[in-house]
Structure 1
């Protein structure tokens, strides 16, 4: 070890210059993430709706293997749709659902300027780690990129 020309990585001790290059393209590694806001501080009532949404989320995987479950919560602004969705989503995460992560996107449906579909897809792609360099230039290509990105993020295979 006294020659000074070898590199010893044990204990991060280096003897001599370290020269090299990594030519692999930088790509985000899929990790579990959650963009869910905190659950509502106080949530009461809505037992029927909570049960119905929870049942949809906890369906046996064999039942939903060939389909995608989509649930919608509708109502006037300010009646608690987001609070209901967040309450159920956090409960589901606590039960081990969504192991790949959970994304939240406020579409601001009752604002004067709601989020457009194009803005929503860009936001989701960025949340999944797609950087500006990897971002497809057109909306159509961004929409086409989304399922593959989401599949990699969720750690599942597309059918």
Structure 2
């Protein structure tokens, strides 16, 4: 089952209303927002980091940038890097730019949400592929994820 299908199934099983949008391939947050016809700030930018303990997912508003120093502090790790494109493919089955903002049960990694996600009514994200986006109510999204809340955007 594809990541897109797993996401769709999770949303349907939990009776979460969502909008599914097909669009041209969108690898960046800016292109994705334009393709969706939505403000960039509702985009959930998902980053996969690797430290000495393993991989971790961090989600922030697409209008923000990640502060790597804050991520290091959160993880209590000196060594930190972004996952490679090959790791994204091998571990998450997605291309760069298509990683959805979900840890368990979709991915086995700890999930960290930046407070910038909480300020929006909706969250939008590429749903495992670059040509499909899902948009749902942020409060509904929060019921689906088990996340650590923090501040790591700049």
Provide TM-score, normalisation by structure 1.
Answer: 0.25
- Larger strand percent: 2
For normalisation by structure 2, the TM-score amounts to: 0.26
More relative contact order, 1 or 2 (CA 8 Å, 6+ apart): 2
Higher-helix-fraction structure: 1
Query: Which has more radius of gyration?
Result: 1
